[in-house]
A and B are shown apart, each in its own frame.
Chain A
Amino acid sequence: MVIDPQLLAFQALNGLQLGVMLFLMAAGLTLVFGIMNLINLAHGSLYMVGAYFAATLQGWSGSFVLAALLAIPATLVLGVAVELVVLRTLYDRDHLDQVLATFGLILFFNEAVRIVWGPSALFMTTPDFLSGQVALPFGIIYPSYRFAIIAVGLAVALFLYGLISHTRVGMLIRAGASNRAMVGALGVDVKFLYTAVFALGTALAGIAGLMAGPILSVESGMGEPILILTFVVIVIGGIGSIRGAFMGALLIGVVDTLGRSFLPGLLRATFNPQVANAAGPALASMLIYILMALVLAFRPQGLFPARAA
Chain B
Amino acid sequence: MTATSRRIVLRALVLWGGLALLLVLPPAAALADQPFYLTLVTRMLIFAIAALSLDLILGYGAMVSFGHAAYLGVGAYAVGILAYHGVNAAWIQWPVAIVASALVAALIGLVSLRTSGVYFIMITLAFAQMLYFLGISLKIYGGDDGLTINARTDFGGVIDLASNVVLYYLVLAVLLGFLLLGQRLIASRFGMVIRGAKSNERRMRALGFPTVRYRLVAFVIAGTMCGVAGVLLANLTNFTSPAYMHWTRSGELMVMVILGGMGSLIGPIFGAFALLALEEVLSSYTQHWQFILGPVLILIVLFAKRGIYGLLGAARESAAAGPPAAGPPHG
Q: Which residues of A contact B (CB under 8 A)?
A: 33, 39, 86, 89, 93, 95-97, 99-101, 103-112, 114-115, 224, 228, 231-232, 235, 239, 278-279, 281-282, 285-286, 289-290, 292-293, 296-297, 300
Contact = CB atoms under 8 A, between A and B. Distances in A.
B114 A286 contact: no
29 contacts: A86-B298, A93-B301, A99-B64, A100-B258, A100-B301, A101-B298, A101-B302, A103-B297, A104-B294, A104-B295, A104-B296, A104-B298, A105-B294, A106-B294, A108-B295, A110-B290, A112-B291, A114-B288, A282-B133, A282-B136, A285-B133, A286-B134, A289-B126, A289-B133, A292-B123, A293-B130, A296-B114, A297-B114, A297-B115
A300 B140 CA distance: 36
Residue from A39, A95, A100, A300 whose CB has the most chain B CB atoms within 10 Å? A100
Given A89-B302, A104-B295, A293 B123 contact: yes
B129 A228 contact: yes
Contacts of B301: 93, 97, 100-101, 104
B290 A293 contact: no
Contacts of B289: 111
A120 to B, nearest CB: 14
B274 to A, nearest CB: 14
Nearest to A37: B118
B130 A100 contact: no
Contacts of A95: 64, 117-118, 121
Interface in B126-166: 126-127, 129-130, 133-134, 136-140
Contacts of A114: 288
Nearest to A112: B291
B251 interface: yes
Contacts of B258: 96, 100
Contacts, number: 125
Given A101-B302, A286-B133, A289-B127, A300 B291 contact: no
A96 B297 CA distance: 13
A101 B255 CA distance: 9
Given A86-B298, A103-B251, A297 B111 contact: yes
B13 interface: no
Given A96-B58, A103-B255, A115 B123 contact: no
A281 B121 contact: no
Contact of A111 (B123, B125, B290): B290
The CB with the most chain B CB atoms within 10 A, among A33, A115, A285, is that of A285
B264 to A, nearest CB: 15
Contacts of A100: 251, 254-255, 258, 297, 301
A149 B41 CA distance: 50
Given A96-B64, A99-B251, 17 more contacts: A39-B121, A95-B118, A97-B302, A103-B251, A105-B294, A107-B297, A111-B290, A115-B291, A228-B247, A235-B122, A239-B118, A278-B137, A286-B130, A296-B114, A297-B114, A297-B123, A300-B114
Nearest to B115: A300
Contacts of B273: none
A111 B64 contact: no
A104 B58 contact: no
A133 to B, nearest CB: 32
A202 B247 CA distance: 23
Contacts of A101: 297-298, 301-302
Interface string B40-83: 00000000000000000010000010100000000000000000
